[in-house]
Structure formats: C-alpha cells, structure tokens
C-alpha cells in the first residue's frame, strides 16, 4: 500500500511538473530552475535588490537564484554556497562546502574582504520523506541555521530571505527574527505551488547590536 501511494504521488508530481507554466517558462528562458520566478516576484513586491549589493545565496545549487540576480543586476556581487557541486556561473563566486563549518565561513569572509553582505537568501529545503513529523523539524532546522549564518555575515541594515514551511516551529521562527530585524514579512509568491506549505520570510533592516555568538563548528 505504501509503495502504491508513493508511486501515485510521484506520478502526480511528474505530471504537475510537466504542465507547470513556470517550468516551461524557465526552460525557454534558459534558467536553471523555476524557483527564479519566486525570487523575481518577491523582488517585484519588495524591491529586494539594488545595484552594487553583496549577496550570499545559501544552498544555491543548481544556481537559479544566483543566475537570475546576476542577469538582472550586473553590478551585484554574488557568492553562492552549497554542499553540492554547481556548474559555474559567470561572475558568481561559488564556494562548495557545508556553510555550518568554520572553514566555509572563513573562505566566504576572505572572499568578501572588508565588506559584509547586504542580503543573505536561502531557498534550502530538506529531502522530503512525506512524513510531516520528520520533514517539518528538518525544514525548520535548516531555516534556523540559515538565520544564524546570516546574523554572522550581514552588514547593519542588511536583509535576510529564507524559505520556511508552515507548521510546528514556524511562529517561533518568525518571532526570533523580530528580535534581530526591524521588519519581518511573510511572502507566498504566485510561483509557489498553491498546495505547498512553502512560504518565504523576509526580514529587513538587521540590527547588528543583536548579533548572536557563533556556534562551534559541527564535527
């Protein structure tokens, strides 16, 4: 029974993916993923990007968000991080490794030089098992790790954009961001599938005096 349910779910996803207008649009435009339209719609609503920013893209692979940012704003510096390999993008600095590790953070800080990031953005999500009691804690842990990373690299007044999923831990996560940012908004771009619990939290105007001490690196 379980195997049948998984097969039917996979079939529905494949059919939905094939018929998705954003998938087709991304393929025609040469983008690496449909997720670029989520970012574009958030920017359209919130004017997220401006020339000469420094942006860090966490969990960047396959690189759609970094690709879109560089195409739209040539003067923005983009640093893409992911534990997975990613095909090179013109004028995007890619650092492969686990962003929780000090060696990766130090490589980013060296690349940044004297600057700090104006925006940290994360579209990370765990591998979905279909079990909400497993998937939701994993998703929230990723969002929390991305938040803590952002607090360590953001310039005063900087912004943080993170994917989250509605469910246990969501309200506490939003509340935690309000301790560090002057404004926190919840966004559900049209490109996010309606049936998905996926949301985006946009935290703006970082108050650097509230920075958290960095946790020890993972084993």
What's the pLDDT band for 130 if we cut at 50, 70, 90?
confident
For the annotated catalytic residues, the residue numbers are 163
pLDDT tens across 39-57, in order? 999 999 999 999 999 999 9
172-209 burial code (b ≥16 CB/10 A, e <16): ebbebbeebbeebeeeebebbeeeeebbbbbbbebeee
**Token code pair at residue 46:** 């919130």
Q: Between vectors from CA 201 to CA 162 and to CA 105, what angle results, nearest 5°?
A: 30
What's the pLDDT band for 1 if we cut at 50, 70, 90?
very low
pLDDT tens across 70-106, in order? 999 999 999 999 999 999 999 999 999 999 999 999 9
Q: What string of H, E and C letters represents the secondary structure of 98-155? A: CCCCHHHHHHHHHHHCCCCEEEEEECCCCCCCCCHHHHHHHHHHHHHHHHHHHHHHEE
Range name among 31-35, 57-61, 129-133, 173-177 with the lowest pLDDT average: 129-133
Q: Which residues pair with 185 in a beta bridge?
A: 202
Contact 200, 164 (CB under 8 A): yes
CA 96 to chain centre: 16
Decide the pairing of beta strands 92-96 and 77-82. Answer: parallel
User: Among residues 93, 92, 50, 57, which one has the least CA distance to residue 72?
Assistant: 50
pTM for the full predicted model? 0.87
Decide the pairing of beta strands 54-58 and 77-82. Answer: parallel
Annotated binding-site residues for S-adenosyl-L-methionine read: 63, 65, 82, 98, 123
């Amino acid at each position: 029974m379980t195997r049948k349910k998984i097969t039917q779910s996979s079939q529905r996803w494949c059919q939905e993916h094939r018929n998705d207008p954003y998938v087709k649009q991304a393929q025609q435009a040469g983008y690496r993923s449909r997720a670029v339209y989520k970012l574009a719609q958030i920017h359209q609503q919130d004017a997220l990007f401006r020339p000469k920013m420094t942006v860090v893209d966490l969990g960047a692979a396959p690189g759609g968000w970094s690709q879109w940012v560089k195409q739209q704003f040539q003067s923005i510096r983009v640093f893409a991080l992911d534990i997975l390999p990613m095909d090179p993008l013109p004028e995007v600095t890619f650092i492969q490794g686990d962003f929780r590790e000090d060696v990766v953070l130090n490589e980013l800080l060296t690349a940044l030089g004297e600057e700090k990031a104006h925006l940290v953005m994360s579209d990370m999500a765990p591998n979905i098992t279909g079990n909400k009691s497993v998937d939701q804690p994993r998703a929230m842990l990723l969002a929390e790790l991305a938040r803590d990373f952002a607090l360590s690299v953001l310039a005063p007044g900087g912004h943080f954009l993170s994917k989250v999923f509605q469910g246990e831990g969501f309200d506490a996560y939003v509340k935690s961001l309000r301790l560090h940012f002057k404004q926190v908004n919840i966004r559900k771009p049209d490109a996010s599938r309606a049936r998905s619990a996926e949301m985006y939290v946009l935290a703006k105007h970082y108050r650097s005096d509230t920075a958290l001490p960095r946790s020890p690196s993972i084993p």
